Structure 1
Amino acid sequence: MGFVVLHMEKAHGSDSGTTAHIEYFIIPKNADPTRTHLNRKLVAYPDGIKDRSAAIQRRLEETGLTRKIGNNQVRAIRITVSGTHEDMERIEREGRLDEWCADNMKYFTDTFGKENIVAAHLHRDEETPHIHVTLVPIVKGERKRRKREEQTKKRYRKKPTDTVRLCADDIMTRLKLKSYQDTYAEAMAKYGLQRGIDGSKARHKSTQQYYNETKKLADSLKAEV
């Protein structure tokens, strides 16, 4: 039984370098050109939106943010999902890749909101089939900073609990990242994939393989960008 691969990282600015890789404006050196036609978009862009970076910007503009977005603020979260190489090849051979893609999209839209998943691309022409998901971290509610401000007796004007904010930190807390690994593995169990052993990187050969797969996909994306 193989392992799931779920990697999340913050992106800054328009993230145009990653867009170039995902959209294949720049052809990766490790891509097999005879299989590039098998790649496909899993999320349709709105009218007038031509690529992933534009889709990120459109979501930010339409969501009703009241605070100005800082120059260094995280505007999107990159998510890469896959599985152990042999298992992904098996899923392809069994003709279940479309089902796997659909279950992935259901998981991410259910978890983060359909409107916040602005792009998703399946790549089948690199070593292991994988999906790049783009999440715009729109959340609701007051900032966590409020509690600290109250403790130091600073004046704080109470805001509505449904205030819309852009905050990757709220989505990527340590506990939430662990929860995503758990729940994603549960969603992928039907494909013979499981979660790596929690909290261990080297005590078991299979666990090491899991972390190697995760790092390999993440490093591959960074190298292409």
Structure 2
Amino acid sequence: MNFVILRTQKLKSKGAICRSAKHAFREQDTPNADPKLTPENTHIGAQSSDEAMAAVNARLPDKIRKNGVMAIEYLITASPEAMTAKLRKDQDNYFHDSLAWLKAKHGAENVVYAGIHRDEKTPHMYAYVVPIDSQGKLNARHFLGGAKALNAMQTDFAQQVGVKHDFKRGIEGSKATHQRVQSFYGQINQPQAPLTVDKERKVLKKGVFSTTVESDEEYQARIIREVNKQIQPSVEKARLSGTK
């Protein structure tokens, strides 16, 4: 499973941006992060939530319509198994190209912060974008649009960035519902239990003088059923990774 994961979250208030930034900079308790690895995190464009907020404010127009999207929060990673299998330099190259893609899409001046987290189970990149369109207006819809535009964005990211790093697009047209970035990432970060399969032939009938066990066909079919049942959660995570 080697799917790209690209998620967006609309932040409609400075309070929401600040809360997210405090998480990004580990300025609040983050139970699923290993504090020993936090120094390995990388911050680009800001070194604290205060600096990130200042960068956002510098790009925001004076007047913002009610319920307007002030920033788009991006989460970029890949299927956990595929991401963790890469060397650090290869992970960094993927994130470097992902950031370049964001800047090309939104304009470098509007990508106010990007950070790579290496202190959680799977390395991933956060980025905050102030959605200013070519007319100089705050316009998140121009970039995210509806379902069709989001679907096209997933495809474009996979083609422009993912393929280069041996990642592919998730299942197009998936019916899975969109989730908040942090909730989604928390889900894919859950560890999977190792496979446990009874490799001994099952006894079908035990008599006084003879014992009947599974045939080759029955044995193989049972093993396949047991393995498929146990890997289903991981298959579902891979399916979710390409929704939109």
- With structure 2 as the length reference, what TM-score do the two structures score? 0.68
Q: Which has the larger radius of gyration?
A: 2
Q: Percent identity?
A: 31
More RCO (CA 8 Å, sep 6+): 1
The question of 1:44 aligning with 2:45 is answered: yes
Which 5+ residue runs of structure 1 have no aligned equivalent?
141-162, 216-225
**Contact map agreement 1:13 1:74 (CA 8 A) in 2:** yes
Range with greater deviation from structure 2 (168-177 or 21-30): 168-177
* Residue ranges of structure 2 left out of the alignment (5+ in a row): 177-231
Choose from 94, 98, 102 the match for 1:100: 94
Query: Is the partner of 2:86 in helix, strand or coil?
Result: helix
Over the aligned positions, Cα root-mean-square deviation in angstroms equals 2.5
Aligned-pair CA distance for 1:181 = 0.3
2:151 matches 1:178? yes
- Equivalent residues of 1:117, 1:136 under 8 A apart: yes
The CA deviation string for residues 145-186 of structure 1, in whole angstroms up to 9 with x for no partner, is xxxxxxxxxxxxxxxxxx321011221112321121011111
Q: Secondary structure at the match of 2:121?
A: coil
* 3-state SS, counterpart of residue 37 of structure 1: helix
Equivalence for 2:58:
58
Pick one of 112, 133, 140 that aligns with 1:168.
140
* Matches of 1:16 and 1:118, distance apart in 2: 13
Q: Cα offset for 1:50?
A: 4.1
1:113 to 94, 107, 113: 107
CA distance in 1, matches of 2:59, 2:118: 27
Counterpart CA distance in 1 for 2:170 and 2:241 is 11
| Corresponding position: 1:209 with 2:237 | yes
Secondary structure of 1:6's match? strand
TM-score by length of 1: 0.73
Q: Give the secondary-structure state (helix, strand or coil) at the position aligned to 1:74.
A: coil
In the alignment, is the contact (CA less than 8 A) between 1:59 and 1:116 conserved in 2?
yes
Which one of 193, 196, 199 corresponds to residue 167 of structure 2?
193
Figure out how many residues of one structure are paired with residues of the other and give that number: 183
